[in-house]
Amino acid sequence: MSWALLRALAAGAALVCGVCTGAAEAPQRIVAVGGVVTEIAFALGRGDRLVAVDSTSTFPDAAKALPRVGYMRTLSAEGVLAVDPKLILATDDAGPPSALAQLRSAGVPVVSITAEHSFQAVLAKVHRIGEALDAEGPASEMERQLTVRWRQTTARVAALPDRARVLFLLAHSSNNLLVSGTGTAADAMIRLAGGVNALSGFSGYKPLTAEAAAAAAPDVLLITREGVAQLGTDHIWTQPGLALTPAGRNRRLVSMDALYLLGFGPRLPEAVRDLADQIHRS
Amino acid sequence: MEAVLHGLPAAPPRLPGAAALIGLAVLLLAVVLLATGRGAVAIGPAQIFRIVVHALGLGNRTGFSDQQWAVLVTIRAPRVILAVLTGAGLALAGAVTQGLFRNPLADPSLIGVSSGAAIAAAGAIVVGSAPALHLVAPLRLAVVSCAAFTGGLLAVLLVRRLASREGRTSLPAMLLAGIAITALAEAGIGALSFVSNDEQLRNITFWRLGSLGAASWPLLAIVAPVVILGALRLLRLSASLDAYALGEREAAHVGVDAQRVKTIAIIGSALVVGALVSVTGIIWFVGLLAPHVVRLLCGPGHRLLLPACALLGAILVTLADLAARTLVAPAELPIGMLTAFIGAPAFLMLLRKRRRWSE
Amino acid sequence: MLTGTDITVSVGDRHLLQGISLSVAPGETVALIGENGAGKSTLLSVLCGDRLPSAGSVAINGRPLRSMRPGERARARALLAQEQHDLPGYTALEVVLIGRYAHIACVPSRADRDIAQAALANVDASHFATRLMQTLSGGERARVHLARTLAQLMGADHDVGRYLLLDEPTASLDVAHQHLIMDRVRGFAAEHRIGVVAVLHDFNLAARYVDRLLCLKQGRALALGGPEAVLTEPLLSDAFGMRCTVMSQLPGGRPLVVVLGSGLETV
């Protein structure tokens, strides 16, 4: 018997075994918590295994058709259990912790997906979700392609001539605008896109004050598309202090879809490139 | 004071004591069954029975699904038990505080326990999420609860200390001190809210609105003994609280050890309320409403009032929690908000009715 | 015996009571009389244990009052204060039962209820025993509280000395009930061998129903003795600043004071 035939037989056996064990292990009835988790699950071809998602899962369109279990930070254990899940994939910042603990006590495994804001984190998310959904093959392929596209994006960003000062606005409610300091997803995106966060003295989100905005003197305002829809561009420009900034004088406002901009998912290379293009457009 | 009210019947239209207690107990059982069966996952009474039987090791695992088992045993059962304990504890502490201060508007929050717990919890939320501490989420929750319990107790001890001189505590001074400490705590919470970031602020607000969502068996193992022992001790104050209706001085003439009764009532209430608040956050109105309703139905005698309050409080909170988790399923309403929404107008209605009998 | 020895109460440099001594035997009725501010209520509060005297001591049945625990004290003496809080929602019977606090272990027994009913009967209040307190008149409420103090002391061994302290028990009563109550109190004292000390404004009422009177003026004891001995014209005009005449040798053997006018105008 030739080595070629043996190798072919071994490969065939492995394939058959892989299919068999894969079919036995492939988890069904999955709940995904976190927009990026849902996005990756669908991208890996496992969207059909999801039975419910959280309210931040807005991409792809197929995800919008799935039943919702609530907002990812205020889950109700019983609400999640009602859909009879066998596995839960949740980002690290899903909560409250007591709900996740109750789900675990109820016998449903909860896989935690990192919520860090970096390209390495995106690779880790893809890897972990691929592992959990028995899609290691597609996951490795996706990681490879992501790395290629990322290199292209970073090269493009490095070639930018200047660095725009960007202020990110979070619309909590119409009379409660928050701005982002360091340590947030928005801050990370701004830096990755070759910009400078106009506010750097604090971490997290703080309420917008006129003086702080004027002192920050951003060239561009960054906000999510959902935020614009909630506030209206006119309302934004009438905020005290914003009108006095370079961004206000030139009416430079960039808005992008929330999950696309801040999700740190498989579309990160494109999102960074788009953001870099838009904030540096003069 | 000449207050002969003509036209009122000679005997008060009260429910006889035994009937009231039995009626309330039966109602509580029915409400507990209802609450255990309703929710995002439906479980019928027969299935509840079979699950309980199996959990006790008596029956076998048939007649219910795994999902129902998981939901009932790990989520609903501890939650309903917590609701019963919370309602009973808050109502009992409310009735005891009202009896001690001879004021139907008194509430354990007047002696500072709620605000003390609130500011301690807010502080723990802000400090506990500091990155330097590297506290993992479940530990953070435990820290907040411990802080809330300690804060509530310390606030009450401080209020009592401020109102005491030479070993004798003055109740009017306690009320004033309690109001002052509450105001101070609220200012502190305001300051903490101001310096906190978005996530901390959200946690603080969430905590203050009250929720039974964190109920679990390990939690109950810690909270239940404190609440039950505290409640049992408070129940034994019935005779002394009736004597207190005469006024503190007359109560002493009749044989009440005033200082001892005050200590037990205040510390006991603080322990019960503190333990509950540390786990559930602030739940309004139960301590005010339940005693009022019971007084209307059964009269002011504390031997009946205290146990009846405990039962009625348990019923109210269990129903409120049921509404909180089913009205906007799969999301949950904060229960403190619900009890305030329903409790406030109900309380006003009761006030109108009450004036006919007492003034 | 209820024994007050050399009782002095000073507030700053004001003497509310100075060197008052009084012994009350079981079954005896003593009245405290004097004008406003003479120290009657102060003395009563010291005898009751509410107030610690600056000097002197009080003993009940040989035990210093100070050393008695609240429950023990409540079984030895009962006080009817001048003012009472409203007790909305409680029935008269329930209020009287509160008086049994020091005797009740957990729940009122059959005996406690019987005692409460008897106490109400004693003050002619049985017919409104189940009425709510806020539906009663001032006088009716006063009688309920008196019944409460009676109930507090009833039911014990007659050998154990018990003492009833009353601060103006007839203040809000109509005339008929004033006499009825004083008569009942006197009978109660004799039957149960309970010593009574009552602050009374009306010295004629006192003369009629008590064994001895203690007359106070500005914190000092002017006289202590039977009605005939204490109620004399010179003493009364000194104590009360009034002009009066005392009629004695009346049916019943008790003196009657007839007030002629105020003694204050005369220079």
Chain A neighbours, 3+ Cβ pairs < 8 A? B
Report CB contact under 8 Å: C101, B255.
yes
Chain B neighbours, 3+ Cβ pairs < 8 A? A, C
Q: Confidence band (pLDDT; 50, 70, 90) for A23?
A: very low
Q: What pLDDT was estimated at residue B112?
A: 87
Mutate to test the interface with B, among C48, C91, C97, C135 (most CBs of B within 10 A): C135
**A and B interact (at least 3 Cβ pairs within 8 A):** yes
Mutate to test the interface with B, among C50, C77, C85 (most CBs of B within 10 A): C85
Q: What pLDDT was estimated at residue A21?
A: 46
Mutate to test the interface with C, among B254, B293, B295, B351 (most CBs of C within 10 A): B254
Q: What is the mean pLDDT of residues A122-133?
A: 94
Report CB contact under 8 Å: A79, B70.
no
Report CB contact under 8 Å: B214, A98.
yes
Dist. CA B355–CA B104, nearest whole Å:
12
pLDDT digits (tens, 9 = 90+) for B78-105: 999 999 999 999 999 999 999 998 888 8
Q: What is the mean pLDDT of residues A44-51?
A: 92
pLDDT digits (tens, 9 = 90+) for B336-346: 888 888 888 88
Long-range contacts of C246-252 (CB under 8 A, 24+ apart): C252/C208
Burial (CB < 10 A; 0-12, 13-18, 19+), residue B38, is middle
Is the CB of residue C143 less than 8 Å from the CB of residue C178? no
Report CB contact under 8 Å: B331, A97.
no
Report CB contact under 8 Å: C102, B255.
yes
- The most confident of the ranges A99-103, B11-15, B52-56 is A99-103
Q: What is the mean pLDDT of residues B102-128?
A: 86
Query: Which of these, A57, A53, A46, A49, lies nearest to A29 by C-alpha position?
Result: A49
Q: What pLDDT was estimated at residue B9?
A: 45
**How many angstroms away from the CA of B260 is the closest CA of chain C?**
11
Task: Give the SS3 label for residue C205.
Answer: helix
Please enumerate in sequence order all residues whose Cβ is within 8 A of that of B26, keeping only pairs 6 or more positions apart, or say none.
Answer: none
Interface of A with B (CB under 8 A): 68-71, 73-74, 76-82, 84, 95-99, 101-102, 105-108, 170, 172, 178, 202-206
pLDDT digits (tens, 9 = 90+) for B22-68: 999 999 999 999 999 888 788 888 888 888 888 888 877 888 888 88
What value does the mean pLDDT of chain A take?
A: 86
**Do strands C29-33 and C212-217 pair parallel, antiparallel, or not at all (unpaired)?**
parallel
Residue C15, beta-bridge partner list: C10
Report CB contact under 8 Å: A68, B76.
no
**How many angstroms away from the CA of A79 is the closest CA of chain B?**
5
pTM greater than the 0.95 cutoff:
no
Percent residues over pLDDT 90 in chain B = 36
Residue B13 in this model has a pLDDT that exceeds 60: yes
Report CB contact under 8 Å: A76, B41.
no
Report CB contact under 8 Å: B75, A106.
yes
Q: What pLDDT was estimated at residue C182?
A: 93
Q: Confidence band (pLDDT; 50, 70, 90) for B242?
A: very high
Q: Using a CB–CB cutoff of 8 Å, tell me whether C109 touches chain B.
A: no
Q: What pLDDT was estimated at residue B354?
A: 64
> CB-side exposure of A76: number of CA atoms within 13 Å?
27
Which residues of chain A lie closer than 8 angstroms to B70, CB-CB? 81, 106-108
Q: Confidence band (pLDDT; 50, 70, 90) for A209?
A: confident
Residue C216, beta-bridge partner list: C221
Q: Closest residue of C to B14, CA-based?
A: C89
Q: Which residues 111-170 in chain C show a CB within 8 A of chain B? A: 128, 130-132, 134-138, 148, 152
Query: Which of these, B117, B87, B317, B78, lies nearest to B221 by C-alpha position?
Result: B78
Q: Confidence band (pLDDT; 50, 70, 90) for B137?
A: low
Report CB contact under 8 Å: B325, A97.
no
Q: Using a CB–CB cutoff of 8 Å, tell me whether B164 touches chain A.
A: no
| Cα-based torsion angle of the residue sequence C72, C74, C78, C79 in order, rounded to the nearest 10 degrees | 120
Burial (CB < 10 A; 0-12, 13-18, 19+), residue A158, is exposed
Dist. CA A89–CA C217, nearest whole Å:
90
Is the CB of residue C76 less than 8 Å from the CB of residue B255? no
Please enumerate in sequence order all residues whose Cβ is within 8 A of that of B184, keeping only pairs 6 or more positions apart, or say none.
Answer: none
Determine the residue type at C184: R
Q: What pLDDT was estimated at residue A25?
A: 59
Q: Which of A76, A105, A203 sits opposite B213 (nearest CB)?
A: A76
Residue B130 in this model has a pLDDT that exceeds 80: no
Dist. CA A8–CA A1, nearest whole Å:
11
As for the ipTM of the complex, it is: 0.90
Q: Which two tokens stand for residue C109?
A: 């027994």
Determine the residue type at B6: H
Please enumerate in sequence order all residues whose Cβ is within 8 A of that of B166, keeping only pairs 6 or more positions apart, or say none.
Answer: none
**How many angstroms away from the CA of A58 is the closest CA of chain B?**
18
What value does the mean pLDDT of chain B take?
A: 86
Please enumerate in sequence order all residues whose Cβ is within 8 A of that of C64, keeping only pairs 6 or more positions apart, or say none.
Answer: C57, C58
Q: Which residue has the tokens 């907040």?
A: B144
Q: What is the mean pLDDT of residues B238-259?
A: 94
Q: Which residue has the tokens 């507030």?
A: C11
Report CB contact under 8 Å: B331, A76.
yes
Lowest mean pLDDT among A57-66, A106-115, A231-240, B134-143: B134-143
**How many angstroms away from the CA of B92 is the closest CA of chain C?**
18
For residue B231, how many other CB atoms are within 10 A of its CB? 23
Q: Confidence band (pLDDT; 50, 70, 90) for A213?
A: confident
| Sign of CA pseudo-dihedral B117, B118, B123, B125 | positive
Task: Give the SS3 label for residue C170.
Answer: coil
pLDDT digits (tens, 9 = 90+) for C78-124: 999 988 888 988 999 999 999 999 999 888 999 999 999 999 999 99
What value does the mean pLDDT of chain C take?
A: 91
Report CB contact under 8 Å: A81, B138.
no
Q: Which of B73, B216, B325 sits opposite A78 (nearest CB)?
A: B325
How many Cβ pairs closer than 8 A exist between chain B and C? 100
Q: Which of C70, C87, C94 sits opposite B255 (nearest CB)?
A: C70
Report CB contact under 8 Å: C138, B2.
yes
Please enumerate in sequence order all residues whose Cβ is within 8 A of that of B308, keeping only pairs 6 or more positions apart, or say none.
Answer: B20, B21, B24, B294, B297, B298
Per-residue pLDDT of chain C (267 residues; tens, 9 = 90+): 999 999 999 998 888 999 999 999 999 999 999 988 889 999 999 999 999 999 999 999 999 998 999 999 999 999 999 888 889 889 999 999 999 999 998 889 999 999 999 999 999 999 999 999 999 998 899 999 999 999 999 988 777 889 999 999 988 888 999 999 999 999 999 999 999 999 999 989 999 999 999 999 999 999 999 998 999 999 998 888 888 999 888 887 889 999 888 877 655
Q: Which two tokens stand for residue C43?
A: 């003395």
Q: Closest residue of A to B280, CA-based?
A: A98
Residue A3 in this model has a pLDDT that exceeds 90: no
Q: Which two tokens stand for residue B313?
A: 């409080």
Residue B225 in this model has a pLDDT that exceeds 90: yes
Q: Confidence band (pLDDT; 50, 70, 90) for A282?
A: low
Q: What pLDDT was estimated at residue A2?
A: 61
Task: Give the SS3 label for residue C194.
Answer: strand
Q: Confidence band (pLDDT; 50, 70, 90) for A8?
A: low
Q: What is the mean pLDDT of residues B92-120?
A: 89
Domain B16-358: assigned CATH number: 1.10.3470.10
